[in-house]
Amino acid sequence: MKVDSLWIVEPRKVEIRQVEVGEPAYDEVQIEVKACGVCAWDSYLYRGISAPGPLPYRLGHEGVGIVRKVGAGVKGFKPGDKVFCGGGSNEMMAQVINLKASCVGRIPDHVEDFAKWVLEPTVCVVNLLHLSQINPGDSVALVGAGYMGLLTLQGLLNGSQAGSVTVFEINPRRRAIAESYQPEFCFDPYSPEGQAHIEKIQSEGGADIVIDFAASDSGYELASSLTADNGGKLVLGTWHRKEMKFDGTRWHLSGLTVLNLAPGSNRNFNQMIPRTSQLVHAGVYDAGSLVTHTLDYHHATEMFEMSIDKPADFIKGVITF
């Protein structure tokens, strides 16, 4: 069967090309893709940065759709099931894909607006908070409240044992969304109030857990400066695409644990996929509320450019099929 798929053929140039999709192999499901989220990584791949190999290449790892066929050995899924993809491929921007059943999670049968059910990023957040091992009453500082930061804030406030949660975000709209979730504190780090609170955290020995989602040098530096003096944790949610400096003496003497959001940080990452389904069902996460822009795949170039330029109201973009 031939289907349309998106290819990056040169930096900032997308082509729709036909690819052959065979029958699902053992332990695979065949999915009719209805939507695929545009990750920050996708916006870099669109520009030829952080590429998996030479051009041309396919992209997409945040798929959601309908199971059309199941391969031998598959249990728990049947044709017609509505599912999200939690990993297993970076070629999901296509009309149909085959994927390991272990990389798939269920979404409700009533779903029609598939763009609201892109959940791979939520799986990453569930993994992040799982690895963070938040103890009862831990103080948490979240630096950056973009899409991933806001998802993390949902998890912190609705599904963790965190005590005091402080958010630092410079963008007024994103900060307003974060404030609507009602963390204990939420500041522009450059405001007088934000500066005073930074000094307060530092003077009191730092936060137990600091999560960096700022995607900037200044955000990383702020996050590092907020870590606890004794046995704290710094979670790097942001993919910093260059060398970053750190204070080796402070990190060593404070016994800092540094954690990484990436799926490779957990050899049992796929176990987070069904757990994410359960947490979404329980109301801990509402990823759909953060989707602000959707476009059909024939207009993928416009969506990729939007994900780079980020209009004032942009939080999350999704390409539909």
Average pLDDT over residues 166-180: 98
Is there a contact between 14 and 301 (Cβ–Cβ < 8 Å)?
yes
Average pLDDT over residues 179-196: 99
Cβ neighbours, 10 Å, residue 230 = 12
As a 3-state breakdown, the chain gives helix, strand, coil percent values, each rounded to 5, of: 35, 25, 40
- pLDDT attached to residue 221: 96
CATH class of 2-118+291-320: alpha beta
Distances in Å between the Cα of 47 and the Cα atoms of 50, 94, 195, 301, 307 are 9, 19, 36, 11, 11
Confidence band, pLDDT 50/70/90 cuts, at residue 140: very high
Say yes or no to pLDDT of 317 above 90: yes
Closest of 230, 223, 260 to residue 131, by C-alpha: 260
Is there a contact between 188 and 169 (Cβ–Cβ < 8 Å)?
yes
Say yes or no to pLDDT of 318 above 90: yes
- pLDDT attached to residue 116: 99
Does an H or E element contain 69, and which?
strand 63-70
Q: What is the pLDDT of residues 261-279, one digit of tens each?
A: 999 999 999 999 999 999 9
- pLDDT attached to residue 234: 98
Structure tokens at 320: 């539909």
Say yes or no to pLDDT of 242 above 90: no
Q: How far apart are CA 211 and CA 260, in angstroms?
A: 10
Confidence band, pLDDT 50/70/90 cuts, at residue 111: very high
- pLDDT attached to residue 120: 99
Say yes or no to pLDDT of 241 above 90: no
Say yes or no to pLDDT of 3 above 90: yes
Going from N- to C-terminal start, the domains of the chain cover 2-118+291-320, 122-265
Is there a contact between 314 and 145 (Cβ–Cβ < 8 Å)?
no
- pLDDT attached to residue 315: 98
Average pLDDT over residues 37-50: 96
Confidence band, pLDDT 50/70/90 cuts, at residue 49: very high
**Mean pLDDT taken over the chain:** 97
Q: Which residues pair with 73 in a beta bridge?
A: none
CATH 3.40.367.20 describes domain 122-265? no
| Torsion of Cα atoms, 127 then 60 then 114 then 118, to 10° | 20
The reply to whether 2-118+291-320 and 122-265 are identical in fold is no
| Torsion of Cα atoms, 237 then 180 then 112 then 119, to 10° | 10
Say yes or no to pLDDT of 54 above 90: yes
User: Quick one: DSSP state of residue 79?
Assistant: T
Say yes or no to pLDDT of 52 above 90: no
